[in-house]
Structure 1
Amino acid sequence: MKTWLSWTLGAISVVCGGWTAEAQHRNPDAQIVIWGHLGAPGTAEIESRLEEVITERSGEPDRIRDRYAVGITQPRLLVFQPERPNGAALLLLPGGGYQRVVIDKEGIESAERFNQAGVTVFVLLYRLPDEGHEQGQNVPLQDAQRALRLIRSGAVDATVDPARVGVIGFSAGGHLAGSLATRFDAGVYDQRDTVDDVPARPDFAVLVYPVSRMSGPAVHTGSRNRLIGEHPDPATVATHDLVSAARSDAPPLFLLHAADDLAVPVENSLDLFRANRARGVPVEMHVFAEGGHGFGIRFAEGLPVGDWPDLVLAWMERGGFLAD
């Protein structure tokens, strides 16, 4: 079995990385650096002073992994292929408050669950906005647009149906997924190659306990401050607030939240539901009494909210996204 380090590209430091190749954990089937030899926009100015670090938070990494990444300069897709792909694909954007990118809890574990239904999953390790990048507030969306274009182009996996490419995001990753669903045509980077001719609009979007508000009582201040600063001007707030940015040609939307979420209040999803419904966007929402924040797969087990992947898959099937 290949270890994590054998899959990475570039110089990486691992903090507390105490797991071995013998541990029974799923590793990516492939890994794709999304900007290739061209490098991510603006990276040359920061690459020499920013080092990628992967930190393991689990006390028992041989049994369960709980890693996150910071300092990402080579954003990349971790590809998880099902045994019997049905053509559906998900670009998966883990959370981390725009301070880190969670790898296992919301990334790989969710990918494995959707693999079981035949969905090919691409976990994106995206650049973080508050690490000194020249266009900090745009770098996550730059990576998300590029990743979706790569997936849809067939350059990553030829089994993917270009008409059934969706996005799923968690927490701040939910904000990024929502930004992709509303700013898919925003010119946040200059064209690099023919891949950038491919539309970046996802065919459907799934937002799990998403950050959506950039102002008001429901705002997650940490995510907001790292993305657009503590005192953004009204125009910047309007651009990045998913409720303000709602548009009638956004893709069908699935929202999931727990009412007892103390980190990202449920109003983030409730407001988003109302805004998209008012604009005629097909939207489905599920609110559970229990679950808190950041439950992913592992912390939802044994609770009603633990059925959330099945709800998403049933919605995808009804929408014609799961299979031909």
Structure 2
Amino acid sequence: MQIDRRSLISLASAAAATPALAQTSDPTEIVKLWPRRPPGAPPVLPVTKITDRIATTGWQDRYATDIGEPLMTVFRPARPNGAAALIAPGGGYIRVVIDKEGFEVARRLAEAGVTCFVLRYRLPKEGWVDASDAPLQDAQRAIRLIRAQSFRRVLALGCSAGGHVAASLATGFARPVYAPIDAADGQSARPDLSALLYPVIDMARPFAHVGSRAALLGPSPTPEAEAKYSPHRQVTAETPPTFLVHAADDTSVPVENALNYLAALRTAKVRAEAHIFEEGGHGFGIRLAQGRPAAAWPDLLVSWLGRRGFLWRAVADAPGVTPA
């Protein structure tokens, strides 16, 4: 098929105008999770390092390591609807991806009126005393800080290893993984909904993601540790309704991770919606799903959020917000 110059320019302009992928400046609003040192901190805190893979990917593709000061980057929508989302990007528990599974997803949800908080959580192998619980400590604290800002509807969304963070939060929101430090810790850490994209779930072979398992639990975890940190084994009737996305051809995190979590939700009679795409591989986010069936997932998610009553507007939920 031939494409003339005018059509090519039109296609390029449309791609550049795609809001979720637009190259815009980063938000400047940052929320630090801990007023002092995080729980179980080593004597010398790691100093966050940001690496950009733009030379190999061709687009801004940053990730963070050595995260001594976990935080949230805030994306405030032009027309907020009173709902919030905590977004946990992936990275195999050895890094936290910033753009592909964080900022780009946040911009898409902000278009739907959701105030987004992109989580930069601590990594287990960077010196923390309770290494396997460090990401969950940060996720619980993050939800509580969001609720302390008067958001009553909170979604926890996670991709890949960030999906494990979000699923661990959805099933372990009440686990006492750190001592309360202020009034915010009186808030519930339970998300109202969760969305898991190609999530790491199972910590046992044969379906475990080997890298995430080793980073979180060490090279030879016990069966007890595998069970404790496999969220599908921790699902209860209190687990929030969940939206699942996975690709059947994912060779990094087998699709059985999502399917087993779905089965556990169904057994517990927790409402769930799952989209298993034939093609997509792993780590597609929004950008790498373009041109594939998996590109539909953001719209499917927004539709699901709408049906769950998550996107309605209310002044009481977000002080200072003018309803539509």
SS of alignment partner, residue 262 of structure 2: helix
Matched residue, 2:91: 96
CA distance 1:234–1:131, shift in 2 (3 Å): same
Matched residue, 1:184: 173
Counterpart amino acid of residue 53 in structure 2: R
Q: How many residues align?
A: 292
Matched residue, 2:30: 31
1:136-285 map, 5 Å: 136-154=131-149, 161-162=151-152, 164-285=153-274
Preserved contact between residue 42 and residue 129 of structure 2 (Cα < 8 Å)? no
User: How far apart in 1 are the matches of 2:212 and 2:44?
Assistant: 22
Instruction: Tell me how far 1:296 sits from its aligned partner.
Output: 0.5
SS of alignment partner, residue 196 of structure 1: helix
SS of alignment partner, residue 322 of structure 1: coil
User: How far apart in 2 are the matches of 1:243 and 1:84?
Assistant: 36
Q: Superposition RMSD on alpha carbons, in Å?
A: 1.5
- Per-residue CA deviation, residues 9-56 of structure 1 (Å, 9 max, x unaligned), is xxxxxxxxxxxxxx94331140011112x2211225241xx2321001
Identity %: 50
User: How far apart in 2 are the matches of 1:76 and 1:251?
Assistant: 24
Preserved contact between residue 46 and residue 132 of structure 1 (Cα < 8 Å)? no
Counterpart amino acid of residue 102 in structure 1: V
Counterpart amino acid of residue 31 in structure 1: I
Instruction: Tell me how far 1:115 sits from its aligned partner.
Output: 0.8
Uncovered stretches (5+) of structure 1, i.e. residues with no partner = 1-22
Of the two, which has the highest radius of gyration? 2
**Larger RCO (CA under 8 A, 6+ residues apart):** 2
Matched residue, 1:59: 55
Preserved contact between residue 252 and residue 282 of structure 1 (Cα < 8 Å)? yes
Which structure features the higher share of helix residues? 2
1:280-319 map, 5 Å: 280-319=269-308
Instruction: Tell me how far 1:131 sits from its aligned partner.
Output: 1.4
- Per-residue CA deviation, residues 228-252 of structure 1 (Å, 9 max, x unaligned), is 1122122211110011111111000
Preserved contact between residue 203 and residue 229 of structure 2 (Cα < 8 Å)? yes
Matched, 1:126 2:121: yes
User: How far apart in 2 are the matches of 1:43 and 1:76?
Assistant: 15
User: How far apart in 1 are the matches of 2:221 and 2:207?
Assistant: 16
Matched residue, 1:41: 39
User: How far apart in 1 are the matches of 2:145 and 2:125?
Assistant: 25
TM-score for both structures, normalised by structure 2: 0.87
CA distance 1:218–1:71, shift in 2 (3 Å): same
User: How far apart in 1 are the matches of 2:125 and 2:312?
Assistant: 39
Counterpart amino acid of residue 41 in structure 2: T
User: How far apart in 2 are the matches of 1:149 and 1:85?
Assistant: 20
CA distance 1:223–1:44, shift in 2 (3 Å): closer
TM-score for both structures, normalised by structure 1: 0.87
Preserved contact between residue 29 and residue 81 of structure 1 (Cα < 8 Å)? no
Matched residue, 2:70: 75
Counterpart amino acid of residue 197 in structure 1: G
Preserved contact between residue 83 and residue 310 of structure 2 (Cα < 8 Å)? yes
Preserved contact between residue 32 and residue 72 of structure 2 (Cα < 8 Å)? yes
CA distance 1:60–1:264, shift in 2 (3 Å): closer
Matched residue, 2:11: none
Matched residue, 1:11: none
SS of alignment partner, residue 214 of structure 1: coil
